[in-house]
Amino acid sequence: MPKKKDVKKIVFQSAEEMPTMPMSLGSMLYNKTGSWRNIRPEIKLEDCIQCGICWKFCPDMSIEIENEWPVVNYDYCKGCGICAAECPTKCIIMVEERK
C-alpha cells in the first residue's frame, strides 16, 4: 500500500465533474486509519485453521486473504480486537503498539 504522503488527494474542481452520489471519492486512499491503533493483531499462522472468521468479522475489511492465509492490512486496522475475540483457535493476539 502507498504511504499517506505518497497519495495524491482527489480534489474535484467543480460540482459538475463530481459524481451525484457520495461514491468513490477516494478519501480512504488518503485517510489511513491504521494510525489510530493502540494495539495490533498478530496472527500465529501455525495455529490458524483458515476458517475465515477473522476476515468475515473485521468491520473495516482490514483482514485480507492471500493464498488462503489471513493477512492484516495495518494501513487501515484500527486495533478493535474483534478478530482476536472471534478466532476459534485463539491464534490472533493483540499486542501493544510501541512507537
- Give whichever of 24 and 67 is closer to another protein, judged by the CB atom: 24
Least Å distance, CB 68 to another protein, is 20
- Taking the CA of residue 41 as centre, how many other CA atoms within 13 Å lie in the half-sphere pointing to its CB? 29
Residue 92 Cβ vs another protein, minimum distance, rounded to whole Å: 26
Give the nearer residue to another protein in terms of CB position, either 4 or 94: 4
The Cα 92–Cα 81 span in angstroms is: 9
Min dist CB 97 to another protein, Å, is 23
Separation between Cα atoms, residue 12 and residue 23, nearest integer Å: 13
Q: Give yes or no for a contact between 92 and 48, defined as CB atoms under 8 angstroms apart.
A: no
Query: Which chain residues interact with another protein by CB under 8 A?
Result: 9, 11-12, 14-15, 18-25, 27-28, 31
Instruction: Name beta bridge partners: 89.
Output: none
Nearer to another protein by Cβ, of 23 and 68: the residue is 23
